[in-house]
């Protein structure tokens, strides 16, 4: 049994290729956070107003997830994976060449569409090609690259700003992408499914409209160039799209996500919990580097390095999650940990310029541990009671909600930050950041009520 669990040499190239795609996607999600103030200065924009660069990418990833598996089945793993790396690489080139904020957001959205295919298609390739006995070893190896990306992303972004310019945080993807495309042609088999169901285009468009409407509606609250009517329109379109999709999911047997999926109480609570509990946790990698640079005037490289303990805390949590869950169970753990994560977010209001570096490092590490424990437990809970037939659409829907929550969290925190900046004045940005952190922490604390609805035995 042990021999079968080891990854055989003939599959190592494929696993390495999947790891390259996962690394690119994971790195690009975090490397930009440290660079936002420098990008804003270069493009003559307010650093507090350019979170659309992050949101556009994440929202495009979320929107592209539902179509990734269908494209791979229809047109083949090799073609779709090569196309995804090509789009990602060309978009990275375009990001670095952008002269305005609108151009940068456009190429970030294009980059996100390429990134949306990288991770799901890579995982699907391993699932279809590698024997079952070696799959765990293969997926574990690939996941390491996904952990390395966020670990080095903020620090690498800061170093590139110091050694070169912000353009290189995008151009660094170009050589990686070229290597990935060559590897794809050599080692990726073009597995194509013979019988592929018709793609649910109408359902896909409704879901995309709902996600875009929610995020744009939230983001434009503080945009003086848009009236209240525009905000109401965006949120109204989102509500109508959600209502239409509910009807569509009940009536269409080929819907992307069938209505019966949500009759599972544990799955539904898990999805709602993921959506709201991730708002605060996902906003901090955006808020903290911005606060360190804009409010405390810390240089980008140091700000990036200071985010490393957060990722190290996330890595450390992997070793303690199992015994904690066995002792407490999902319900009790998620209630307690939701409160702890929320309180930890609020506690960042005690961070000031003169706070010792060692204390900040411990603080970030603790948050990384708590936040990662929350994410792992929520993911496991959400999928725990699904049948074999429901596991694939359930996992895709969960992945989409995770990315949607990240984009909403960044849009919401950016909007709240701008509101408090207007309230306190430009000279009191520290108070604006601290008040925003309190609001995001309180959202996490309230989320504990969602998990309290779980069955007591869970």
DSSP string for 338-373: HHHHHHHHHHGGG--TTS-HHHHHHHHHHHHHHHHH
Residues of the chain with CATH 1.20.1250.20: 1-197, 261-458
| Window from 199-213, 297-311, 407-421 with minimum mean pLDDT | 297-311
Higher pLDDT, residue 141 or 64: 64
Please compute, for residue 377, the number of CA atoms within 13 A of its CA located in the half-sphere on the CB side.
31
pLDDT for the residue numbered 224: 56
Reply yes or no on whether the pLDDT at 70 is more than 90.
no
Tell me which residue of 363, 373, 362, 356 sits closest to 437, measured CA to CA.
363
286 in Cβ contact with 54 (< 8 Å): yes
pLDDT, averaged across the chain: 86
| Window from 121-130, 173-182, 184-193, 346-355 with minimum mean pLDDT | 121-130
Reply yes or no on whether the pLDDT at 236 is more than 90.
yes
pLDDT for the residue numbered 2: 41
pLDDT for the residue numbered 3: 43
pLDDT in tens, 257-290: 888 888 889 999 999 999 999 998 888 888 998 8
Give exposure, 114-137, as e/b (b: 16+ Cβ within 10 Å).
bbbbbbbbbbbbbeebbeeebbeb
Class (C level, CATH) for 1-197: mainly alpha
Higher pLDDT, residue 123 or 376: 376
pLDDT for the residue numbered 435: 95
Tell me which residue of 25, 44, 61, 46 sits closest to 98, measured CA to CA.
44
Pick the CATH number of 261-458 from 1.20.1250.20, 3.40.190.10, 3.40.30.10, 2.60.40.60: 1.20.1250.20
pLDDT band at 1 (very low <50, low <70, confident <90, very high): very low
* DSSP secondary structure letter of residue 427: G
């Amino acid at each position: 049994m042990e021999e079968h669990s080891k990854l055989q040499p003939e599959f190592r190239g494929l696993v390495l290729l999947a790891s390259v795609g996962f690394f690119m996607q994971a790195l690009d999600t975090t490397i930009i956070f440290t660079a936002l103030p420098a990008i804003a200065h270069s493009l003559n924009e307010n650093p507090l107003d350019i979170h659309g660069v992050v949101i556009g990418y994440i929202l495009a990833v979320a929107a592209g997830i539902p179509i990734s598996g269908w494209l791979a089945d229809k047109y083949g793993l090799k073609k779709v994976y090569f196309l995804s790396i090509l789009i990602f690489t060309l978009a990275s080139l375009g990001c670095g060449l952008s002269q305005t904020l609108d151009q940068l957001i456009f190429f970030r959205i294009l980059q996100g569409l390429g990134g949306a295919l990288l991770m799901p298609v890579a995982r699907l390739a391993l699932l279809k090609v590698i024997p079952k006995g070696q799959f765990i070893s293969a997926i574990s190896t690939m996941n390491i690259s996904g952990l390395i990306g966020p670990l080095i992303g903020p620090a690498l972004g800061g170093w590139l700003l110091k050694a070169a310019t912000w353009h290189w945080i995008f151009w660094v993807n170009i050589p990686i992408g070229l290597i990935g495309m060559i590897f794809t042609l050599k080692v990726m088999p073009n597995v194509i499914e013979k019988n592929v169901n018709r793609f649910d285009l109408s359902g896909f468009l409704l879901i995309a409209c709902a996600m875009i409407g929610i995020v744009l509606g939230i983001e434009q609250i503080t945009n003086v160039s848009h009236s209240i009517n525009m905000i109401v329109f965006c949120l109204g379109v989102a509500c109508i799209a959600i209502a239409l999709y509910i009807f569509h999911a009940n009536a269409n047997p080929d819907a992307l996500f069938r209505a019966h999926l949500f009759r599972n109480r544990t799955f539904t609570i898990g999805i709602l919990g993921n959506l709201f509990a991730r708002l605060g946790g996902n906003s901090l990698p955006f808020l903290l580097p911005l606060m360190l640079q804009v409010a405390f005037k810390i240089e980008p490289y140091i700000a990036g390095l200071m985010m490393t303990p957060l990722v190290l805390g996330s890595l450390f949590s992997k070793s303690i999650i199992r015994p904690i869950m066995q002792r407490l169970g999902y319900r009790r753990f998620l209630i307690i940990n939701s409160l702890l994560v929320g309180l930890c977010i609020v506690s960042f209001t005690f961070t000031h310029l003169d706070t010792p570096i060692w204390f900040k490092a411990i603080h970030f590490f603790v948050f990384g541990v708590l936040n990662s424990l929350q994410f792992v437990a929520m993911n496991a809970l959400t999928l725990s009671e699904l049948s074999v037939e429901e596991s694939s659409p359930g996992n895709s829907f969960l992945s989409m909600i995770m990315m949607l929550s990240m984009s909403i969290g960044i849009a919401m925190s950016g909007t709240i930050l701008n509101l408090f900046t207007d309230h306190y004045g430009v000279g009191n940005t520290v108070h604006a950041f601290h008040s925003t952190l309190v609001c995001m922490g309180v959202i996490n604390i309230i989320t504990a009520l969602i998990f309290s609805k779980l069955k007591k035995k869970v």
